[in-house]
Amino acid sequence: MRVRNLDPHEMSSVQARVAAAAAAGKRGLVPAPLRAWLHSPEMGDRAQRLGEFLRYDTSLSPYLSELAILVTARVWTSHYEWFVHKREGLKAGIEPDVVAAIAAGEVPDLADPTARIVYDYATMLHRDHVITAELHAAAQSALGEQGVVELVGLLGYYTLVAMTLNAFEIVLPEGEISDLAPRTSG
């Protein structure tokens, strides 16, 4: 890890408050990126609260949220993010073959039209950095304005998470192996 993992006894009172608030929240623990963010406790506090909202309290179903997070983890080849959200995605009902296709960088077979729209929206925004009018209209029809805003927020937040995990080399728990192959440039 490229940033010092703070032990509770060496945290400032602000850092300790932020870590305790995260652990007392819906996650029940200090999330991995917060280990880096605690070095800027104000940022860490704001980011972890946004993350808690985006993960648990949006209008998106857990299936759709986890699908979008998996697309983001694959785009960034964020092994820790993938490790956590593969498990969460499967719990939310994402089919193992869909997870495997995303891991392989392939287009998954999504029977649900709303899931297809979320996958396409996440993929296009990450790849092209824009969304076509047609796809935006389809997303708005399927998710509503609030849902599209929350989807974009989710994609942005989990990009921040992936960047943090990758930049600071926050690794998988001991004994775990990532099933994400490195991305090839091309």
Question: Residue 186's pLDDT is what?
Answer: 47
The tens digit of pLDDT for each residue in 169-178 reads 998 999 998 8
Question: Residue 184's pLDDT is what?
Answer: 59
Contacts of 78 (CB under 8 A, 6+ apart): 72, 161, 162, 165, 166, 180
Question: Residue 141's pLDDT is what?
Answer: 98
Instruction: For domain 62-167, give the CATH number.
Output: 1.20.1290.10
The token pair at 37 is 């963010």
Question: Residue 24's pLDDT is what?
Answer: 94
Question: Residue 182's pLDDT is what?
Answer: 74
Question: Residue 120's pLDDT is what?
Answer: 98
Domain ranges of the chain: 8-56, 62-167
**Mean pLDDT, consecutive 10-residue segments, the chain of 186 residues?**
90 96 91 95 96 96 98 97 97 98 97 98 98 98 98 98 96 90 62
Long-range contacts of 117-121 (CB under 8 A, 24+ apart): 117/142, 117/143, 118/60, 118/64, 118/67, 118/68, 118/143, 118/151, 119/67, 119/68, 119/71, 121/68, 121/148, 121/151
Question: Residue 80's pLDDT is what?
Answer: 96
